[in-house]
Amino acid sequence: MACYQKTLRLSTHQPNEVQDITAQVQQVVAASGVTQGLCAIYTPHATAAIAINENADPAIGTDLLAALRKLIRDHDGWLHDRIDDNAAAHIKSALVGPSETVPIAQGKLLLGTWQNVFFCEFDGPRAERRVIVTVMG
């Protein structure tokens, strides 16, 4: 089995933000030469996450952030806020999760028509966030 890995670096501009990284991930898959296999997309940050959902209507990313903000309110008595005041960001990251795995066929991510890969920032802005893309085939 071949394994190819690349780290994407991106910067974020808002406290809470989603960025569509589908094109960058697909570029890594193309560079790997793998035609059939799996692509793991992982972010090594405790206040960020990876999600797959629709970006044809960018309002869905905005709605996702709004829903999380309603569910997990800032400064709502969280214990970790005493340490560095970002407990809500950690909880959002834990719920959405740090990774997604997508099958690859004919050298392409097998995403559905309405699926895109999102990097989710919950404690921005940050000058550099990393996403590790591992292609196995």
Sign of the four-CA dihedral 12, 13, 16, 18: negative
Spatial separation of the C-alpha atoms in residues 134 and 124, rounded to whole Å? 25
Written as six digits, the tokens of 130 are 């990393």
Q: Which of 86, 93, 116, 134 binds Zn ion (CB under 5 A)?
A: 86
Q: Which of 84, 97, 103, 114 binds Zn ion (CB under 5 A)?
A: 84
Which alpha helices (DSSP H) does 9-75 contain, by range?
Answer: 22-32, 59-71
Written as one letter, the residue type at 88 is A
Spatial separation of the C-alpha atoms in residues 70 and 72, rounded to whole Å? 6
- Least gap, CB of 91 to Zn ion (angstroms): 10
Contact range with Zn ion by CB under 5 A, out of 27-35, 83-91, 103-111, 124-132: 83-91
- Least gap, CB of 47 to Zn ion (angstroms): 7
Q: Is 85 in the site for Zn ion (CB under 5 A)?
A: no
- Least gap, CB of 100 to Zn ion (angstroms): 23
Contact range with Zn ion by CB under 5 A, out of 1-9, 51-59, 66-74, 86-94: 86-94
Tell me the number of residues near Zn ion by CB under 5 A. 2
Which of 57/84 has CB closer to Zn ion? 84
State whether residue 32 is helix, strand or coil: helix
Run of H or E residues at 130: strand 129-136
Q: Which residues bind Zn ion (CB under 5 A)?
A: 84, 86
